[in-house]
Amino acid sequence: MQTIKENFSTIIQEDLPLAKHSSFKIGGCADLAAFPRTKEELASLVALAKQENIKTLVVGNATNMLFDDAGFRGLIVFTTALKRVIWGEDFVEAEAGASLTAIAGEAVRRGLSGLEFAYGIPATVGGAVYMNAGAYEAEISRILTESTYFDGEHIRTRPLADHAYGYRKSVYQTSGDIILSARFSLQKGNAEELQKLCEDRMKARKEKQPLEFPSAGSVFKRPEGHFAGALIEKCGLKGYRIGGAEVSEKHAGFIVNRGGATSHDVLSLIEHIRAEVMKTFGVYLETEIIHVSERP
């Protein structure tokens, strides 16, 4: 790791407490963490880490991640400093670390429609493209035109058709490529109407979701023909707690950190929820949040 530290000393931190960089406020320390400032710097860093055989994970702002208590034995690269955004008359192109909600809000102010569904989703552009983030029956795949990525050797561009999109799925989840930026197609709209829609949806989020506690958003994907939160609630699990981890009393689809929760608490609670839902309804719940273990 010494070569990495010497070549990228201005963006590298050692023994970074991951709990401070996670919306769940859970996790041990990463041996190394980096915050590259340009796409080229990120690509060079990842290439050197690969050459040095250092385990590397690239993340955004970790709003859908559960970092393990044991930390991470390797390098975690955060894209959050990559925020450059380019606006056109009918498109926006943004780097991977740009806030999805911030871009959606600016699109609305410009009278551009297409991203309003994303307003309030606490993701970066890279994370949204990776997960095919969505809400209100809309998804990233409906507006994406292309993404730029690093394949370990070269920076390339991938058209929409090659993303293998599905419900919370994309080619990036299996390819190992690193998303650097994305371009979205937008349409002219009424700024006032779009703003009102975003405000109403944000109000609804605050009323229905436990935003007052640390969490990683919806824990489970939507099982076909059901809603995970409704199944969990019908099992009487609202408020059920293991250690500091609790099934939200406001929305059963969320697990919140009520204070001092560990990754073990959360994982144990996930397994308990799965078992109860399977026993009661015969439905298996697949997690949407990503557990980052010591050895991924």
The encoded tokens of residue 100 equal: 């999805």
Q: Using alpha carbons, select from 221, 233, 58 the residue that is nearest to residue 151.
A: 58
In the CATH hierarchy, which top-level class contains the domain 210-292? alpha beta
Determine whether 249 is an active site residue: no
CA distance 24 to 217: 9
Say which amino acid occupies 277.
V
Q: Is 288 a catalytic residue?
A: yes
pLDDT per residue rounded down to tens, the chain (296 residues): 788 988 899 899 999 999 999 999 999 999 999 999 999 999 999 999 999 999 999 999 999 999 999 999 999 999 999 999 999 999 999 999 999 999 999 999 999 999 999 999 999 999 999 999 998 889 999 999 999 999 999 999 999 999 999 999 999 999 999 999 999 999 999 999 999 999 998 998 899 999 999 999 999 999 999 999 999 999 999 999 999 999 999 999 999 999 999 999 999 999 999 999 999 999 999 999 999 986 54
Residue from 218, 246, 263, 276 carrying the catalytic annotation: 218
Q: Which is the catalytic residue, given 95, 116, 168, 276?
A: 168
Angle, helix 191-208 to helix 100-109, in steps of 10 degrees: 150
Could you give the CA distance from residue 133 to residue 127 in angstroms, rounded to a whole number? 8
Question: Does domain 85-193 sit in CATH 3.30.465.10?
Answer: yes
Q: Which ranges constitute the DSSP H helices of 110-261?
A: 125-131, 172-175, 191-208, 228-234
Catalytically annotated residue among 106, 233, 288, 294: 288
Has 89 been annotated as catalytic? no
Q: What angle do CA 109, 167, 156 make, to 5 degrees?
A: 70
As given in the structure block, the two tokens for residue 214 are 């640390």
Nearest to 206 by CA among 104, 120, 87, 130: 120
pTM: 0.91
Provide the residue ranges of all domains of the chain, joining segments of one domain with +.
2-78, 85-193, 210-292
Give 2-78's CATH code, choosing from 3.30.43.10, 1.10.1380.10, 3.40.50.620, 2.40.110.10: 3.30.43.10
Tell me which residue of 68, 56, 78 sits closest to 4, measured CA to CA: 56
